[in-house]
Amino acid sequence: MTVPDKVVVVGAGLAGLRTVEELRARGFAGAVTMIGAEQSPPYDRPPLSKKLMTGELDDTSLRADLDSLGAEVLLGQTATGLRPGTLSTEAGEHDFDALVLATGATPIRLPGPGSQHVLRTIDDALKLRALLVPGTRLCIVGAGWIGAELATAGVQRGCAVSVVEAARAPVAVAVGPEVGAVMAPWYAEAGVDLRLGEKVAAIEDGGVRLANGERLAAEVVVTAVGVRPAVDWLAGSGVELDNGVTVDGKLRSSMPGVYAAGDCASFWSARYGRRLRFEHWDVALHAPEVVAAGLLGACAEYDPVPYFWSEQFGRMVQYVGWHGGADQLIWRGNPQQDAKWAACWLAGGRLMAALTVSMPRDLLQARRLIESGAAVDPARLADPGVAVRDRAA
Ligand SMILES: Cc1cc2nc3c(=O)[nH]c(=O)nc-3n(C[C@H](O)[C@H](O)[C@H](O)COP(=O)(O)OP(=O)(O)OC[C@H]3O[C@@H](n4cnc5c(N)ncnc54)[C@H](O)[C@@H]3O)c2cc1C
């Protein structure tokens, strides 16, 4: 394989920046151009719904020394099309030997004429934060991770917060209804009005209209019902798309010389025997190592035990692994009584995934256990008095 002379990276978020950093760290001396639609230099998104929203932080910049990376950084430019060897943007065309797609994801909006906020960019976050003043009625549509974090921040800022969720439990899409259900009481304890099993039909002026006809009044409505990979602009380009850019275990797309990483990439996982796409910070951080290695001719595979965290209602929630295909759910501790507990998913007697609440050490040990593929004794795993690493079958 020939090492490229010129690499173009589309998307100036975490995955885009990490790609440039990794290329340089591995000694790539060729030309690198990073093109991003936002005006802001790369910044971190997780604090947008946490410390930035509560007012403890104003700046989440990744503080990369872009000059020392020797990259051409073009901000405020949106890529609009691709053909082999050439990327089109609103501002012109860029030829490349290799291209890295790192365009992330775009929030889904709901129908209706009313004003609705979403939370993806720093501009979204600062605009929203300015409205969260004491007494504001804040209605959040969606009790997913971001909905829960926003509700936490809204309460902290003195707002009257309601959350409307179509499923029967919070974060049910991510962790299933059984585990999601034990998080539902957190909302009421924090003073949040959580409405489960209710669909929003439309965002209207001054609130939301539920599918059952009821109207919920709110000065501020935030739609937090998920995102879609930002890949529409690639339709018809020849790059295969299926819930994101389809890439193999080396993060190579169907078009030679074109790679993808981060939220926009649906990669083949040999570990799980299927294609997966995650919206995890950790993936955007590490997948670019594999992209850079591949571009420089090394043989690297991306096959992580995925990791995600969320900070909500004073708790640190962490999830490691992937529980698709699990056949057993084990509780470690009692989620109804204990402040700290974990849910562990097993398949064939091996740990597949774990969700921990305020137990970072268990999370780390669970990650190692998942990586090892060792058999576990469910009774020992269920006992919080036995360290996760000592749960051998
Ligand atoms: C509010 C919030 C809180 C989060 N909290 C957590 C958390 O607690 N834990 C966790 O693990 N993860 C969290 N995440 C997810 C994590 O931030 C993402 O997984 C990560 O940012 C993905 O990085 P990325 O580089 O793939 O995409 P992005 O960060 O989305 O960057 C993609 C960039 O590409 C640009 N772009 C898109 N289309 C084009 C185009 N056509 N041309 C040029 N540029 C384009 C976008 O404008 C964007 O700047 C959170 C996300 C949000 C929004």
The confidence score (pLDDT) of residue 65 equals 78
Is the pLDDT at 256 greater than 80, yes or no?
Answer: yes
The confidence score (pLDDT) of residue 388 equals 84
49-52 contacts: CB < 8 A, separation 24 or more? 49/119, 49/125, 49/146, 49/149, 49/150, 49/153, 50/149, 50/152, 50/153, 50/311, 52/122, 52/125, 52/126, 52/129
**Which atom of ligand 1 has the smallest separation from the CA of 278?**
19
Is the pLDDT at 284 greater than 90, yes or no?
Answer: yes
**Residue located nearest, by CA, to atom 30 of ligand 1:** 104
Is the pLDDT at 154 greater than 80, yes or no?
Answer: yes
Q: Are 67 and 20 in contact (CB under 8 A)?
A: no
Summarised one tens digit per residue, pLDDT across range 183-230 is 999 999 999 999 999 999 999 999 999 999 999 999 999 999 999 999
Give the mean model confidence (pLDDT) for residues 113-136. 98
Q: Best of 54, 263, 308 to mutate for ligand 1, by most ligand atoms within 8 A of CB?
A: 263
Distance CA 315, CA 20 (A): 34
**Residue located nearest, by CA, to atom 18 of ligand 1:** 281
Give the mean model confidence (pLDDT) for residues 346-363. 96
- The partner residues of 347 in beta bridges, in order of sequence, read 350
Q: How remote is the CA of residue 89 from the centroid of ligand 1, in Å?
A: 20
- Residue 66 binned pLDDT confidence (cut-offs 50, 70, 90): confident
Contact residues of ligand 1, CB 6 A cut-off: 10-16, 35-38, 45-46, 48-49, 78-79, 102-105, 119-120, 146, 230, 233, 262-263, 279-282, 284, 308-310
Is the pLDDT at 391 greater than 80, yes or no?
Answer: no
The model carries a pTM of 0.97
